[in-house]
């Protein structure tokens, strides 16, 4: 029962997020670039705060990997792609029909699964593939 309640809350929050994203684009109009940049700034500030708060809970070698080793390139690449997505998406989302934004987001799932299987060695079962196909 608690799993169903948690799933329902997650589904409602996801739907609300999509609705609020579309509603925010209407009054923002010409300021969508500012919206994207502000979103990136919030992510950077939150990530810094979360790392600062948890700095004693994580092993030092993990921090060394993330901040000094090969992990910094992975983190930087991920950050750049997120920044570009959050800056560009609002610029074009208001010009698309409402359902297209969701379809475009969902169409990225198969590619994410393929790339994670290729580069990260992740294995997916039949139920997960069927879930993406639906």
Residues 59 and 114 in one domain: no
> Considering its fold, how many domains does the chain have in total?
2
Rg, Å, the chain Cα set: 18
Domain boundary among 95, 110, 126: 95
Residues 89 and 105 in one domain: no
Q: Are 63 and 55 in contact (CB under 8 A)?
A: yes
Residues 38 and 83 in one domain: yes
| Residue 28: predicted pLDDT | 66
Q: Which tokens go with 90?
A: 């609002």
Question: Angle 2-28/32-53 helices, nearest 10 degrees?
Answer: 140
| Residue 88: predicted pLDDT | 75
| Residue 113: predicted pLDDT | 82
Residues 69 and 116 in one domain: no
Residues 38 and 56 in one domain: yes
Residues 44 and 82 in one domain: yes
Residue-range definition of the domain harbouring residue 129: 97-134
Q: How far apart are the first and last CA of the chain?
A: 24
Residues 24 and 68 in one domain: yes
| pLDDT beneath 50: ranges in the chain | none
Nearest to 99 by CA among 28, 8, 19, 17: 19
Residues 14 and 54 in one domain: yes
Residues 90 and 113 in one domain: no
Residues 45 and 33 in one domain: yes
């Amino acid at each position: 029962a608690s799993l169903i309640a948690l799933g329902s809350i997650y589904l409602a929050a996801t739907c609300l997020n999509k609705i609020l994203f579309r509603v925010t684009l209407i009054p923002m109009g010409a300021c969508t670039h500012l919206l994207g940049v502000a979103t990136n700034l919030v992510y950077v500030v939150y990530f810094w705060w979360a790392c600062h708060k948890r700095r004693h809970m994580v092993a030092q070698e993990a921090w060394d990997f993330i901040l000094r080793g090969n992990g910094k390139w992975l983190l930087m690449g991920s950050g750049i792609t997120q920044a570009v997505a959050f800056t560009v998406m609002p610029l074009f989302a208001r010009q698309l029909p409402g359902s297209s934004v969701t379809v475009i987001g969902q169409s990225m799932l198969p590619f994410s699964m393929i790339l994670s299987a290729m580069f990260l060695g992740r294995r997916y079962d039949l139920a997960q593939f069927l879930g993406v196909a639906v």
